[in-house]
Chains A and B, each alone.
Chain A
Amino acid sequence: MVKALNLKLLREVNQAKGLLLAITSIIAVGVTCFVAMQSAYHNLNDAKIRYYRQCRMADFWIDVKKAPVTELELLRSVSGVGELHTRITFPATVDLENVPEPLNGQTISLPDDPTLVLNDIILRQGGYFTRTRSNEVILNDAFARAHRIYPGQWIHLLLNDRRQELFVVGTAISSEFTYLLGPGALVPDPQNYGVFYLKRSFAEDVFDFQGAANQVIGRFTPELAGESEATLRRAESMLDTYGVFSATPLRLQASNQFLENEINGLGAIATVVPTIFLAVAALVLNVLITRLARQQRIVIGTLKALGYGNAQVFLHFVKFGLSVGVAGGCAGAVLGYAAASGMTEVYRNFFEFPDLRSELHWSILTIGLVVSLICAVVGSLHGAWSMLQLQPAEAMRPEPPTHGGAVFLERLTWLWRNLSASWRLALRSVLRHRIRSIAAVFAAMMGAGLLVTGFMMVEAQNYFLNFQFYRTMRSDIDLTFKNEQGRDALDEVRRLPGVDHAEPQLAVAGTFENGARRRKDAIVGLLPDARLTMPHDSQGRRIPLPDTGLVVTRRMAEILRVQPGDVLRFTPVKGERRTVEASVAVIADSYMGLTAYADIHYLSRLLGEELAITGAQLQTRQEPSQLARLHHELKHLPGVESISNRRDLVANITKTILQNQFVFIGVLVVFAGVIFFGSIVNSSLVNLAERQREVATFRALGYSQWSIGAMFLRESFVTNMLGALLGLPMGYGLMWLTAKAYENDLVRLPVISAAWVWWSTLALATLFALAAHGVVQWRINTMNYLEALKVKE
């Protein structure tokens, strides 16, 4: 049988269900975020660990121009290097019959017969290579799905200037390409980029690589795993004579970097965001339970008179909070699991895993529930405790009237004198009920902070898109030549149908050094008046290419610790590999990748070579017939290593980002709304309950219900706006931290504000305050004034 005291609790919970629901939803949102993000984090991380193990993921990648396999195998002698595997890998142009434009891809060699190798594949359809023919190919599964290509079909790749017909034997995935990005891309785009696994013997033939390879992947021995960077450096220097393009540890491998970034960011946010909600909930609950305990002062006195001990009374009030914690925790656990499934589903669109599934993590659910209970208990402690401090006899007396002295604002006489009586009343009430006001200000601050962070994130993404794709890199199609070409190659490109404008590029890979700091990357030579790649500074102004010296992007300058005027050493991978010195002329802003730009003529002089070009950027006409002709020509253009349809790529990135923004803003506004609404409704209703008699007196004096409502609105407006204003810098700080947390060599988010961020936040804060006030006004309108006026003991 339910004890009488618990019956009392149940009925009171039922009576206060509106208010409790408001607090419960704040807790529920907090727990939902926690469970969803933590579960998604574990789903992703566990899937990653399983996948990497299954595919035997490499610890490093070294790309060279070309080296004999026997020489590459010698790396085994480097201490710290364990297992090795050599591969032949080249970019390729894909010519699909039903797709007008040439697509981009990467070919990678695999042993002719199934062998255990590093970065192995997992077959999804069909099988491994057979001995029937040499020209067999295994496609990455996403590309095959996007183009409905099945084993048994033939496809055409442009390999080493020759159009090759390949027989599809299977589709596969590999941990190496969990997040598969084409050159210059930001989100996977299986429509436009694929990976093609070729038989080793076939690759040797096609690329003229008999007994040679251009990539070695390997693992570090476990005992020397701590010195991986030094090991990699040793391995790299051993291969120096073969021209090392890049030596990439797993940490910097693109797919891994995006995946790790997501996992780590998720892990960090999974703690911060729920903490915000639970802290707000605890504070708001504190206000409610304190009010409840004070309201029940006489009941508490009676219970004590009946012989109830302090512990029993205390527990009774804590149970009130606990009921909120249990409800919020359970709702949060259920919603969180559902949200985790949704998030995991979204991740499946971006990351290719063999078995990324939403699992029920009991430990996370339990932690979510426990944290919610702790938050509820902490929120109840103050109120419950305050009642225990009273002697039973004291508790039996009605509460003495609250102190009604002057508040500190009144010392500012010039201000105070100019305030109307209603404003004075509102300000006095705000300043006298400190805890309640602090809770309201804190909640509004957190709500506004969340909104600012979210809106700034949107602004950052839009700025990023605009800066990177509409101002800095503006070409429609980028071509990369297989070998360096002379000026005539550019003229040939210019003559292609549909090409409006073409500019040359000279990309020189090499090693930058500034003292002990070094970095492998490339200098991109551009025409001084280039308009398809235009570096910009942080103010968004175009940077003219200097006659001499380099324009270095910010992230690169930070890594190398250089400033304008400093001199960098650069050792190119190609040619004689003579180390040259170049001064840093300007720092450019860039949010994607690491690059240095230079005048193409200066760069050629610097390397002591004739003007050569490695690629071309095209601006094309948009008429479909012209484009179709251009695409047709490009598919058959010799000497081209890869073709990047930047227009499609940018459209895909923009579409993906905008789609996600829409959902993101929706969720954000709902979450912030829960905080604002829950907190304002709670504090205003508590305020109203405490001042029922006062309100009734005002009614008796002839005030309308609306003018009484306006008094309460003033109070919630003061705390809410103060909190929202404080939330603006807090949100800015949170965005800064988020941007730092997510920053990597591939992408960084700009921290920029815009007027709309601030105005939208304040407008939403006002809107939520008005919506919450609607509930309060309704209570005022339906209040029984005569009852409230009756003198109670």
Chain B
Amino acid sequence: MRNDSTQPPKTNHQPLLRLSGVGRTFVMGEVSVVVLKNITLDIRRGEFLAMVGPSGSGKTTILNIVGGMDRPSSGSVLYDGQDLTTASNRELTRYRRDEVGFVFQFYNLVPNLTARENILISTEIARDPRDADEMLRLVGLEDRAEHFPSQLSGGEQQRVSIARAIAKNPQLLLCDEPTGALDFETGKRVLRLLVDLNRDLGKTVVVITHNAALAAVADRIVHLRSGEISELTENPHPIAPEEVVW
């Protein structure tokens, strides 16, 4: 399912998510910390979007808000026309369950479950799940199905984590520093997997990274600095993950 970067653009310009004036302030005791200020951004259906910025720039906070894990302090977030800001906890849970797949920097696999069971934990609650074994094959781990996370390498764990995210068949794949804990070669393989999922399965993929070099594989790149979008660039010619150098 490999693809070349020379393929025609597959995004339509319909926004899947629309963030308007989103702000987020954390109150810790008597101190308020403003993490996001007035973020306005459309995330298009089927695009591969990269968010880059130094640590503390607000990348993870945006991802959490977009993923229905957190609520903005101000502004609104529309997913397919549905306002996530006013959604109830139950509606947010349903949104996370049906629409979103998360990939975490440290994989967050349940230590007591095997690779396969870690995928099952996701498919068992999904509305339209895909077959767990097929997902393992997709990420190339069919022979590691019965291994526990502690028996897997970092790259393998991250592939299980991706398999778990896509097994629910979500529209949106949100990846928080998916290669952050991996070595160079393994990181590139994981990136290839994400690009393939985007190209072949049409998943909207949002990847956040502090590594600007990785962003070159994305269709668009959002630069964040101190909780604001400092720059939004189109990347008409994304490179293949194998060509990335850092």
Q: Which residues of A contact B (CB under 8 A)?
A: 3-5, 7-8, 11-12, 15, 298-299, 301-310, 312, 391-394, 396, 793
Contacts and interface: CB of A to CB of B under 8 A. Distances in A.
A393 B110 contact: no
Contact of A391 (B69, B90, B94): B69
B52 to A, nearest CB: 20
B239 interface: no
Contacts of B241: none
Contact of A393 (B69, B90, B97, B168): B69
Interface in B118-150: 118, 120-122, 124-126
A309 B98 contact: no
A4 B118 contact: yes
A125 B94 CA distance: 78
A302 B93 contact: no
Contacts of A391: 69-71
B110 A392 contact: no
A12 B112 contact: yes
A307 B112 contact: no
7 contacts: A4-B124, A11-B112, A302-B102, A304-B96, A307-B94, A308-B125, A393-B61
B104 A302 contact: yes
A8 B102 contact: no
A7 B146 CA distance: 13
B159 interface: no
Interface in B78-120: 89-90, 93-98, 100, 102, 104-106, 108, 110-113, 117-118, 120
Interface in B49-83: 61, 64, 67-71
A307 B93 contact: yes
A4 B113 contact: yes
A5 B111 CA distance: 12
B70 A4 contact: no
A307 B71 CA distance: 16
A559 to B, nearest CB: 66
A391 B68 CA distance: 10
A6 to B, nearest CB: 10
A390 B105 CA distance: 20
Nearest to B119: A4
A310 B164 contact: no
B125 A306 contact: yes
A391 B61 CA distance: 13
B112 A3 contact: no
Nearest to A392: B69
A791 to B, nearest CB: 11
Contact of A305 (B69, B105, B106): B69
A302 B108 contact: yes
A302 B107 CA distance: 9
A5 B93 contact: no
Assign chain B's interface to a size class: 35 or more
A7 B102 CA distance: 22
Given A4-B117, A4-B120, A7-B117, A307 B125 contact: yes
A299 B69 contact: no
Contacts of A305: 67, 69, 96, 100, 102, 104, 108
Contacts of A12: 112
B110 A299 contact: yes
A309 B93 contact: yes
Contact of B90 (A4, A301, A309, A396): A309
A7 B113 contact: yes
A392 B70 CA distance: 7
B164 A306 contact: yes
Given A12-B112, A308-B93, A392-B70, 12 more contacts: A4-B121, A8-B112, A15-B112, A301-B69, A304-B93, A306-B97, A306-B164, A307-B95, A308-B125, A310-B89, A392-B64, A394-B70
Given A308-B93, A309-B93, A8 B125 contact: no
Contacts of B69: 301, 304-305, 391-393, 396
B231 to A, nearest CB: 25
Nearest to A11: B112
Contacts of A392: 64, 68-70, 96
B113 A307 contact: no
A308 B97 CA distance: 7
A420 B110 CA distance: 42
Contacts of B98: 307
A307 B126 contact: yes
A8 to B, nearest CB: 5
Contacts of B61: 393
A301 B108 contact: yes
A527 to B, nearest CB: 83
Contacts of B90: 309
B112 A310 contact: no
B150 to A, nearest CB: 11
B55 to A, nearest CB: 13
A307 B124 contact: no
A738 to B, nearest CB: 47
A7 B125 CA distance: 15
A356 B90 CA distance: 58
A137 B197 CA distance: 101
A15 B148 CA distance: 14
Nearest to B181: A793
